[in-house]
Amino acid sequence: MIELIPAIDIIDGKCVRLTKGDYASRKEYGDPVSMACQFEAMGYRRLHVVDLDGARSRHIVNESTLRAITSATSLKVDFGGGVRTEDDLLRAYDAGASLVTIGSVAVTSPELYVEWLGKYGADRLILGADVRNGMVSINGWKEDSDVHLSDFLSRYMEAGTRNVLCTEISRDGMLQGTAVDLYRQVMQAHPGCYLIASGGVSCIQDIATLDEAGIPAVVFGKAIYEGRVDMKELAGRFLPSDGKGGAAC
């Protein structure tokens, strides 16, 4: 069954959502810690946290908010945004992140990413593959690289990567459905990949379609905050029957 991973994107310590990564489209949705507690209370076990300030600044910015979330909940948190150095990586782990997403570094400093993969292990890293027109984007989606997604994934799957977060940028925040065909292609090419689909979820059926396609996990955010997905209904349908929610903060 597909793993459900609610998303919390952070700017200035607040929960926000963007559209196609455009910072000018920022819309606020309240306190990230409170939101994380609500997800845990409904039975969710994992959380995707993105430091959007960090992605833009090229170093971690909202470390204190990450620490507050991991201190207040028992959620397994994967964190991304602004991780450019080993110091950034260690700060994220120290603040409670179970996994850290590495995107731009894997494009601009391949040797460094492979070094981290060997040093910290495939179970603690996620390869961030943010895609626009088939090419991998970097630096908070502000720049398109000359690296094609298929080459990018092949290189790092061979190096030992297991977890991949693939975001189809044109779908992100649009609430118009996911790039399920793209994700099917990735799984066909790399059946051992733990693929986390991201971008475009607009309703529960979108998640069901990904599940039927055999996609291991999905990150979704705007559909939650815009009331397009009933989180309790979704939990009842896809979360393990023995899952127990935590107490609200």
Measured between alpha carbons, how far is residue 68 from residues 56, 64, 145 in Å?
A: 22, 6, 34
CB 128 within 8 A of CB 165: yes
Measured between alpha carbons, how far is residue 106 from residues 110, 138, 141, 164 in Å?
A: 5, 9, 14, 12
209-226 b/e (C-beta count within 10 Å ≥ 16 → b)? bbbeeebbbbbbbbbbbe
Q: Which of 9, 53, 88, 172 is catalytic?
A: 9
Q: Number of helices (H) and strands (E), helices first, in the chain?
A: 11, 12
- Specify whether 211 is catalytic: no
Q: CA–CA separation, 39 vs 42, rounded Å?
A: 5
Q: Which of 51, 53, 88, 130 is catalytic?
A: 130
- Specify whether 31 is catalytic: no
- Report CA torsion sign: 167, 168, 171, 175: negative
Residues designated catalytic: 9, 130
